[in-house]
Amino acid sequence: RTGTNLGAQKIRLAAADFKMVGNDAALSNAQLTFNQVLFSDLTNAGIFDMVSKSLAPPVMPGSPQEINLAQWNAPPPTPPWWPSARSACRTAA
């Protein structure tokens, strides 16, 4: 049973942006709005723990043939350095 305020663990979910096919400028705005509304609605549903879009592969598939499963199964890339409290203290001094 899943719902809000039931003590159930949230479902971890990723929602990839839909890829637009074609170059219609009017549809470009609609696509952006759709992607934002979908992610916001899922986030605000209260039952999902939404995965950040920054963890998605850089190239979004537009059809099943374009899906690169190795990219989706790989861990997210890590930056070359992580800031630490020590480095923050050195830059503040």
H or E segment to which residue 11 belongs:
strand 11-13
Residue type (1 letter), 12: R
Does residue 50 surpass a pLDDT of 80? Answer: yes
Look at 83 and 67; give whichever has higher pLDDT.
67
Residue 75 neighbours by CB distance under 10 Å: 6
User: Mapping DSSP to helix (H, G, I), strand (E, B) and coil, where does residue 28 land?
Assistant: helix
User: Mapping DSSP to helix (H, G, I), strand (E, B) and coil, where does residue 89 land?
Assistant: helix
* Domain locations in the chain as residue ranges: 1-64
Residues 20, 27: contact at Cβ < 8 Å?
yes
User: Mapping DSSP to helix (H, G, I), strand (E, B) and coil, where does residue 91 land?
Assistant: helix
pLDDT digits (tens, 9 = 90+) for 59-72: 777 788 888 888 77
**pLDDT tier at 20 (50, 70, 90 boundaries)?**
confident
Rounded Cα–Cα distance for residues 71 and 56 (Å): 9
Res 23: pLDDT:
83
